[in-house]
Structure 1
Amino acid sequence: MTKKQNNRFILFNLIIVSFVIIGFVKTMYSQSPVSDFSFHPYRINYWVTGTILGVGATTNYLGIGAVLNKEEVTPLEIQTLNKGVISGIDYWALKQDPSNMDAFENYSDYTVAVSVLLPVLLLFDKQIKQDWFDMLLMYMETMSVTTNIYEWSFLGPTFQNRLRPVTYYDQLTYDQRKSGNNRNSFYSGHVATVAASTFFMVKVYSDYNPGIGDNKYLLYGAAIIPPLILSYFRVKALKHFPSDNLVGIGVGALCGIIIPELHRLQDKNISLGLYSSSEVTGIVIKWQPTFF
């Protein structure tokens, strides 16, 4: 890829991201704001959230060490790789130009850096701005949970050792393919992080502005664009197969939606009562989540 093509590619993606940002801000200002500034849809328990952040930072430190310090991929493993077992949806990752992988890795790094800062746009909303500290804590909690699920769940690379697409390219030297980090293809933590950020942003804005109605689904549609762009970059960088990215989007989106929802539980969402019948008596807890 030439320098001129690189510049065009970067410009194209900047335009896409710009449209997402403009559309988000326009939607914010086109809706009638909530006039009652006592409206606070979330409840933050500082002791609980602080504990989660503290424990999360510790487990994240331990987890990232385990993920990044895996044994190198051996020459025998590379020699015995079988492209025939790769599914159709993932085989696209084995048809890339390895000479472009470094450039696309840089693009992916830039995309992550920009995307994790997108929730700053929420400060344009006066209602949200007054609760900025609580939102910061909740965002940090969301990112902590997302990262720890990546590192410690059975889906993540601590328990999975799927080799990255880069290991399948015979055009590359063994030194370029042997890193232990190349055992961390499944699933994409980068994509999960970006999805958590963008879906968190839309979830919070929607909860503070219930008057937008079904327009929130347009915002959720926009929220998936940055992780999709990043997914494309990660495949082109030979870091992930498409299925790795799809799982990352799913995990990140769920974290971005569920963590704020857990802080939104109020009397109308959860109720406690007694249940009695001829056979049993007990306590009933009823939860009616509104994730979207």
Structure 2
Amino acid sequence: MTTRYTFPSLLLLILLFISCCLPAQGLRPYNPSNATNGILLGLGGSITVGSMLIDRKVVPMSELEVKGLDAANIWPVDRFSLRHLSFEADEFTDKLLLTGFAGPFFLMLDKTGRDNFDEMAMIVFQGALLNSALINLTKSTVKRARPYNYNPDAPLDLKLRKSSRYSFYSGHVATAAYFSFTTAQLYSDLHPNGKARPYIWAAAGMIPAAVAYGRMRAGKHFFTDVLIGFAAGTAIALTVPALHRAGGE
């Protein structure tokens, strides 16, 4: 299991290291406006505050509610997660997620990345804020029971926690997708003719895919949870840099 999870993360780190050692092109692809910054920061901040207020009203399921859950009501495509419970998989997805966090920093290894540090830092922060805000808002609003709530082998105390209602959608997958694809998009903008581009994009997709599989094996999320998480994180990763590109405001 360790090999399966660490391979894609190591692959992305190696590719990023190689790509950032390529000759710098001196590009300045980003020209963010105050309006763009204000809208993104305001939107992310507002959703964050709203999600916190909603989350305060979320209460854990009672033992009676847990016992009343019926696996027959779960869509067939989501039933894979019902028969899995792995604390090891849960731990490894936590570690694998750290790879995505580190990705953007590897873009600082060449001059082009360092020249665009201020703009890239703002892009990464704004996207991360918006990604986190949407995750928290959706979880606290939907309150979908996690797969392990249907598993008789899962500890009861785990099922009675507030977090057991935060299945939809997967924050791990959305965050892994966001940071991985943001790194790939930033690299593509900084190195439009870089030969490593297709490999970096392919590797960027492997990390959230591996996290998604691990979250299902851990019994933490259904397939639809990780699918939407993947899509949401990717959409934010592609949209925020586009809003900051020169001439694209």
TM-score, with structure 2 as normaliser: 0.88
| Match of residue 241, structure 1, among 222, 226, 232 | 222
Query: Equivalences for 1:44-59 in 2 at 5 Å?
Result: 44-45=32-33, 49=37, 52-53=40-41, 56-57=44-45, 59=47
Any stretches of 5+ residues in structure 2 without a counterpart?
none
Query: Equivalences for 1:183-202 in 2 at 5 Å?
Result: 183-202=165-184
Q: Which amino acid aligns with 2:15?
A: G
Compared with structure 1, are the counterparts of its residues 118 and 147 closer, same or farther at alpha carbon in structure 2 (3 Å cutoff)?
same
Q: CA deviation at 1:217?
A: 3.6
Query: Equivalences for 1:128-277 in 2 at 5 Å?
Result: 128-152=113-137, 156-212=138-194, 216-266=197-247
Tell me how far apart the structure 1 counterparts of residues 204 and 19 of structure 2 sit (CA, whole Å).
13
Tell me how far apart the structure 2 counterparts of residues 20 and 60 of structure 1 sit (CA, whole Å).
30
Q: Structure 1 residues 39-48 or 52-61, which shifts more?
A: 52-61
- After TM superposition, the runs of 4+ consecutive aligned structure 1 residues lying more than 6 A away are none
Residues 81 and 219, structure 2, Cα contact 8 Å, conserved in 1: yes
Deviations 1:95-120 (A, max 9, x none): 21x3x32x222212212223212111
Any stretches of 5+ residues in structure 1 without a counterpart?
1-8, 271-292
Aligned-residue Cα RMSD (Å) equals: 2.4
Compared with structure 1, are the counterparts of its residues 69 and 180 closer, same or farther at alpha carbon in structure 2 (3 Å cutoff)?
farther
Counterpart of 2:112?
127
Residues 70 and 181, structure 1, Cα contact 8 Å, conserved in 2: no
Tell me how far apart the structure 1 counterparts of residues 239 and 221 of structure 2 sit (CA, whole Å).
26
Residues 69 and 180, structure 1, Cα contact 8 Å, conserved in 2: no
More helix by share: 2
Q: CA deviation at 1:67?
A: 3.4
Counterpart of 2:68?
80
Residues 68 and 181, structure 1, Cα contact 8 Å, conserved in 2: no
Task: Count matched residues.
Answer: 249
Q: CA deviation at 1:216?
A: 3.0
More strand by share: 1
TM-score, with structure 1 as normaliser: 0.76
Tell me how far apart the structure 2 counterparts of residues 67 and 248 of structure 1 sit (CA, whole Å).
19
Q: CA deviation at 1:191?
A: 1.1
Look up the SS of the partner of 1:211 in the other structure. Answer: coil
Residues 25 and 121, structure 1, Cα contact 8 Å, conserved in 2: yes
Q: Which amino acid aligns with 1:250?
A: A
Q: Aligned residues: percent identity?
A: 23
Tell me, yes or no, if structure 1 residue 109 matches structure 2 residue 94. yes
- Structure ID, larger Rg: 1
